[in-house]
Structure 1
Amino acid sequence: MTLTRGTVSVSHLEGTKVGYRMLASNPSSPTLLLIIPFTTTVDYYLPEFENQQLTERVNLIAIEPLGHGTTETRAQTITYWDSALAFLETLDALGIDQAFVMGTSQGGWIAARMALLAPSRVRGIILIGTSMDAESAASRELGCWDGCEATAALVQLSHDLSPMPDFVTGDGYSDFLMDIGYGKGVTQVLRKKWAESIRSIYSGDAGKRKICMAAVCISSRDGLHSRLPHIECPVLWMQGTDDVVFSVANAEKEIKLFKNAPEARLIPMQGGVHFLSFTHEKEIHQNILQFIGRWKST
């Protein structure tokens, strides 16, 4: 097995460096692209890279969207479509023609966009703790969070273009992410790990601009409801019942919009939190392997 961690230079947005971590076991094995949740890094998917059943059967690539980790771009305003296009160029740079794409939370939004942009290259999408809507009143009525309110301070800060060399996110932000992501069972080890990661990435003027770009992406993203019938690859959606960000009721509504997918399956997971692999790691890995096993030869 070959483990690689670094960046790939792509042309999108007049030049972008995309951060990734890749573990390739066999050139003939299917590839699974893993897209991280908000303000984490490729380290979010360490449980997948450490799972021998997965790594023996699937080549893994974890990847960091614009506004995250070691990914860098010259652009000052970005969208999830930009990340999707940059990821497709990253696959080109790594010599990968086709892949299954899995995303947690915002990663699900990007996975769906990749399937829309490059239907011949995305063999299937796996959605975890996500939504296909904008930050809408309709989604809040179904029990989803108010993402515009949650990101309002960072969005407002994005309007101030003056240099902020002393910018730091503070512990309040990382604690907020831990609480909504991992839930009541979050460990002190995880709190420390991600507090250090967020402090390292999102500090100084460059860090301020990066986290503000990421926040604007959430609050202003476009919904995909009218586009989902155009996704023709298989879809697996896993959603925790204790997810405080996106609800099972919302997922039940939206999975029906994949009208032309050969499979569109929702699996609610009892007691599962937003970062679902924290409470249901074994179940997620089993479903990944079964899903890829069903569709890798089509």
Structure 2
Amino acid sequence: MISSTRTRTQEPRLVPTPLGDLAVRVAGLGAAKVVLWPSIFTDGHIFDGLVSRMAAEATFFLVDGPGHGLSPGVARDFTMAEAASACLSVMDSFGLARAVVGGVSWGGLVAAEVALTAPDRVEGLVLMNTPMDVSGDHPKVRDQMIAFGARWMGRRKVFRDGVASSFFDPGTLDSNPSYRQAFHGMLAASDPVRLSAAVRSVILGGDPLRARLARISVPSLLIAGKEDALYPLEGQASAALMLQDGRFEPVAGRHISPVEAPDEVAASLRAFLGRDKVG
């Protein structure tokens, strides 16, 4: 959890959006405004370590995606364009005409969609552990199994442990007991219909991002886990080369870099925010 005395964390606010109310926490004291959206099967708490390291440099707007954390979600599939519209609703609610927009995995897809559809609202784009080739036309068997599990097994420990083994290096959750409890607790308490609707929308639908990266005009930072088996480093590095104004930062760990490598992620984001074109 974030220490409120160090970061001035506010209580979550429920923001009306096209995908239902989204819970958003504001944390930090700095001038840079950074909106972050998490991965599937996680909530905004995956950014707590990053916030605690950068509280003096940025103010973070931490979103719980629909069907995750404190966001009720919707009982239907949706597009990443709708998720981007929901992210813009969050920005509007907090009076953010422009901000750095980013996220992990699902959050990266949402942030990229915002950058593609509303580049005037985006000071910089941060893609962490982001799938580049997810396609509704050619879903992988692995992704179909994950979506099935989210609907029928999401509350079972065996499924949560399986997700954890894909997302984190061995021992990461054991060495972060408060986050381990939050990770398992959130999934155990989730509504399986709304959780699975979000998971399906992310990994079984959508337009592959890789082919559209060259259209992203805003300054961009792409962070990838060196041991991420879901989206391996080589593919992430080649994707970064397609960005008009991008930089690539490999960091330790698997799929949830802000949890596994918060110091490295903070250093990368700090350098990115210091660029003349951002912030």
Q: Please, what TM-score do these two structures have when normalized by structure 2?
A: 0.86
Contact 1:241/1:248 (<8 A) preserved: yes
- Which residue number corresponds to residue 223 of structure 1? 208
Contact 1:154/1:212 (<8 A) preserved: yes
Aligned alpha-carbon RMSD (Å): 2.6
Tell me, what secondary structure is at the counterpart of 1:5?
Answer: coil
Tell me, what secondary structure is at the counterpart of 1:184?
Answer: coil
Please state if 1:214 is matched with 2:216: no
For 1:197 and 1:75, locate their aligned partners in 2 and report how far apart those are by CA, in whole Å.
18
In the alignment, residue 223 of structure 1 is paired with which amino acid? P
- Which residue number corresponds to residue 175 of structure 1? 161
Tell me, what secondary structure is at the counterpart of 2:165?
Answer: helix
For 1:137 and 1:213, locate their aligned partners in 2 and report how far apart those are by CA, in whole Å.
17
Report the Cα offset of residue 139 of structure 1.
11
Q: Identical aligned pairs, as a percentage?
A: 21
Tell me, what secondary structure is at the counterpart of 1:97?
Answer: coil
- Which residue number corresponds to residue 3 of structure 2? none
For 2:275 and 2:215, locate their aligned partners in 1 and report how far apart those are by CA, in whole Å.
21
Q: Which runs of 5+ in 2 are unaligned?
A: 1-6
- After superposition, the Cα gap between the structure-2 partners of 1:151 and 1:58, relative to the gap in structure 1 and judged at 3 Å, is same
Alignment of 1:128-167 (within 5 A): 128-135=128-135, 146-154=142-150
Tell me, what secondary structure is at the counterpart of 1:288?
Answer: helix
- Which residue number corresponds to residue 100 of structure 1? 100
In the alignment, residue 228 of structure 1 is paired with which amino acid? L
- After superposition, the Cα gap between the structure-2 partners of 1:236 and 1:139, relative to the gap in structure 1 and judged at 3 Å, is farther
Q: Which runs of 5+ in 1 are unaligned?
A: 158-166
In the alignment, residue 275 of structure 1 is paired with which amino acid? I
- After superposition, the Cα gap between the structure-2 partners of 1:173 and 1:139, relative to the gap in structure 1 and judged at 3 Å, is closer
For 2:21 and 2:46, locate their aligned partners in 1 and report how far apart those are by CA, in whole Å.
19
- Which residue number corresponds to residue 5 of structure 1? 11
Alignment of 1:1-298 (within 5 A): 2-12=8-18, 16-26=20-30, 29-51=31-53, 54-74=54-74, 76-135=76-135, 146-154=142-150, 169-188=155-174, 189=177, 190-200=179-189, 202=190, 207-217=191-201, 218-258=203-243, 261=244, 263-269=245-251, 271-295=252-276
- Which residue number corresponds to residue 161 of structure 1? none
For 1:245 and 1:137, locate their aligned partners in 2 and report how far apart those are by CA, in whole Å.
19
Q: Deviations over 1:247-282 (max 9, x none)?
A: 111112212222xx2x2111223x422112333221
For 1:116 and 1:44, locate their aligned partners in 2 and report how far apart those are by CA, in whole Å.
25
Contact 1:66/1:78 (<8 A) preserved: no
Tell me, what secondary structure is at the counterpart of 1:237?
Answer: strand
For 2:11 and 2:87, locate their aligned partners in 1 and report how far apart those are by CA, in whole Å.
15
Tell me, what secondary structure is at the counterpart of 1:125?
Answer: strand
For 1:170 and 1:246, locate their aligned partners in 2 and report how far apart those are by CA, in whole Å.
25
Q: Report how many residues are paired.
A: 269
- After superposition, the Cα gap between the structure-2 partners of 1:109 and 1:74, relative to the gap in structure 1 and judged at 3 Å, is closer
- Which residue number corresponds to residue 160 of structure 1? none
